[in-house]
Amino acid sequence: MARKTTTDDPLAPVTLAVGQEELLLDRAVQQVVAAARAADPDTDVRDLTPDALQPGTLAELTSPSLFAERKVVVVRNAQDLSADTIKDVKGYLGAPAEEITLVLLHAGAAKGKGLLDAARKAGAREVACPKMTKPADRLAFVRSEFRATGRSATPEACQALVDAIGSDLRELASAVSQLVADVEGTIDEAIVARYYTGRAEASSFTVADRAVEGRAAEALEALRWAVSTGVPPVLITSALAQGVRAIGKLASAPRNARPGDLARELGMPPWKIDRVRQQMRGWSADGVAVALRAVAEADAGVKGGGDDPAYALEKAVVTIVRAARAGRGQP
């Protein structure tokens, strides 16, 4: 049996990421991969879902290499592995291979608890990734995000950001990054208000999501709320561009590719692959091109090339909605 340890070394033989918060799970994986590639830039990373990890697959992936290359093997949704594959993983836990880091992502519930217990008994490094359902937890998360950047934010600013953005940890993390990049010195409530005050639904990402989904009324409503409550127009054009580009990237990817493979290839987290797949119905290559031109025109308009930034944004949203609806036979 592997020696039990409390190490927090990302290159520990086995890392166990437990919970259902996708952002934290992805970060746990990214931390291990970054540490491995810092030690060896040629590290081979295998990101697997339960259907891809059949009995015997783990033995193949962890067998000694002629070139002794470092490898990271990520197993997502480990609680859904088949009984035979769980036996393989438990066997591996007793004698992990050199130069290989196994990362098990487990929801932490009753399903697959035997594997969870076995990994803990074997001394796996554990990373907690709990779903943050309480406002106090999200507030603590925002504070920790600011601390991680070495920047200072007042308690009132952190609370205002949670109130404005809502429960999506990815949007909260993105908002912190945006503020840190744009603002010098301590971030206070007035700065947050200038960027994000308004209904949580009025975030720039919500405008983009409703637009690429072809939901005209909701997209325009979210846009008008965002503009009226002071969300910077450049954030909205940036979100629109990201939304349309994601459609284009996924549309050109192999249709039978797994989310984990697509995530690595396209530079998107797996949760976003699933969301974009739902949004892309009805889109065509021509529609993506038209929408991107509209976003570029709006971006120029809000950066001084036009007289009315709000009109430039509204025009872009309408064009994107039409492009999204065109393939569905809708006007």
- Average pLDDT value for the chain: 86
Mean pLDDT of 282-299: 92
pLDDT in the model for residue 316: 95
Quote the pTM value.
Answer: 0.59
Phi, psi values for residue 61, rounded to 5°:
-70, -30
Share of the chain above pLDDT 70, in %: 89
14-129, CATH topology level: Rossmann fold (3.40.50)
Query: H helices of the chain, where?
Result: 22-39, 57-61, 83-94, 113-121, 135-149, 155-165, 169-182, 189-196, 204-212, 216-228, 233-251, 259-266, 270-279, 285-300, 309-326
Q: Is the pLDDT of residue 269 over 70?
A: no
90 vs 228: which has the higher pLDDT: 90
Mean pLDDT value across residues 168-182: 88
Residue 45's beta-bridge partner residues?
Answer: 72
pLDDT tops 60 at residue 222: yes
pLDDT in tens, 15-39: 999 999 989 999 999 999 999 999 9
165, 203 in Cβ contact below 8 A? yes
Contact by Cβ (8 Å): 94, 122: yes
CA distances from residue 98 to 12, 70, 101, 122, 127 in whole angstroms, order as listed:
10, 8, 8, 16, 21
pLDDT for the residue 123: 93
Top-confidence residue, 189 or 80? 80
Question: Where along the chain do its domains lie?
Answer: 14-129, 135-196, 204-327
**Radius of gyration, CA atoms only, the chain:** 22
Residue that wins the pLDDT comparison between 19 and 63: 19
| Domain 135-196 listed as CATH 1.10.8 | yes
Q: By the 8 A CB rule, do 62 and 73 touch?
A: yes
Burial code (b: 16+ CB inside 10 Å, e: under 16) for 83-97 equals: eebbebbbebbeebb
- Tell me, which fold does domain 204-327 have in CATH? Zinc Finger, Delta Prime; domain 3 (1.20.272)
Q: Residue 64: pLDDT above 80? A: no
Digit-coded pLDDT (tens) for 84-142: 999 999 999 999 988 899 999 999 989 999 999 999 999 999 999 998 888 889 999 99
The answer to whether residues 206 and 254 touch, using CB atoms and an 8 Å cutoff, is no
Tokens at residue 266, please? Answer: 């396209």
For the record, the structure tokens of 277 come out as 């797949």
- pLDDT category of residue 201 using cuts at 50, 70 and 90: very low
